[in-house]
């Protein structure tokens, strides 16, 4: 293939003098440094749904905060963590989101729109706000 899908293009490059290796001579992935995070691009969640999605991402990615324009995969996400996101969305919101959606919409704002559309389709627009209000006490705790 001549083109690589966007989600497979590395989001960051880290230059190293040499790769850390285990005693077996294999690359020690745990010893690799994390790419530096760009704080200037942080955009806080603007909607209740973005807050829910950003909260799930922060838990799964084990980071303090996630901006709505940040890319899941650039923050260290991968397919196994993406399945956890899908599972938590199902548990918290009762909505079925396909794993593929995270690869195609890898930002909080884009995925939040997908989740909202799925909820509106199943609940109706009027019940969406009510559904989200019930989640707010859980978010604070």
In a domain, 67, yes or no: yes
Confidence of residue 27 (pLDDT cuts 50, 70, 90): very high
| 10, two tokens | 């590395």
For residue 136, what pLDDT band results from cuts at 50, 70 and 90?
Answer: low
Structure confidence by residue, pLDDT tens digits, 75-128: 999 999 999 999 999 999 888 999 999 999 999 999 999 999 988 887 766 666
Q: Do the domain assignments include residue 77?
A: yes
Which residues contact residue 116 at a Cβ distance below 8 angstroms, ignoring those fewer than 6 apart? Answer: 49, 128
pLDDT tens digit string along 31-89? 888 776 555 578 899 998 999 999 999 999 999 999 999 999 989 999 999 999 999 99
What region, left, alpha or beta, does residue 94 occupy, with left being phi > 0 and alpha being psi -120 to 50 degrees? left
> Does some domain include residue 126?
yes
pLDDT for 139? 45
Q: Rounded to whole angstroms, how far apart are CA atoms 113 and 115?
A: 5
- 121 is in which domain, residue-wise? 40-140
Report which of residues 23 and 129 the model is more confident about.
Answer: 23
Q: What is the pTM of this model?
A: 0.65
Domain assignment present for 45: yes
Is residue 96 a part of any domain in this protein? Answer: yes
| CATH for 53 | 1.10.1200.10
Structural domains of the chain, count: 1
Burial 117-128 (b: 16+ CB within 10 A, else e): ebbeeebeeeeb
Number of Cα atoms under 13 Å in the Cβ half of residue 108: 25
In angstroms, the first-to-last Cα distance of the chain is 47
The pair phi, psi for residue 106, each rounded to 5°, is: -85, 15
């Amino acid at each position: 293939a001549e083109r690589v899908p966007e989600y497979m293009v590395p989001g960051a490059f880290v230059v190293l003098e040499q790769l850390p290796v285990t005693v077996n001579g294999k690359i020690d992935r745990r010893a690799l440094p994390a790419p530096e995070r760009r704080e200037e691009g942080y955009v806080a969640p603007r909607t209740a749904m973005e807050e829910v999605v950003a909260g799930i991402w922060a838990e799964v990615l084990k980071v303090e905060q996630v901006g709505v324009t940040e890319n899941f995969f650039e923050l260290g996400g991968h397919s196994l963590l993406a399945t956890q996101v899908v599972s938590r969305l199902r548990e918290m919101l009762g909505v079925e989101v396909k794993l593929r959606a995270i690869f195609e919409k890898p930002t909080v704002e884009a995925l939040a729109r997908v989740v909202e559309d799925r909820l509106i389709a199943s609940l109706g627009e009027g019940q969406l706000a009510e559904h989200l209000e019930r989640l707010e006490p859980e978010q604070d705790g």
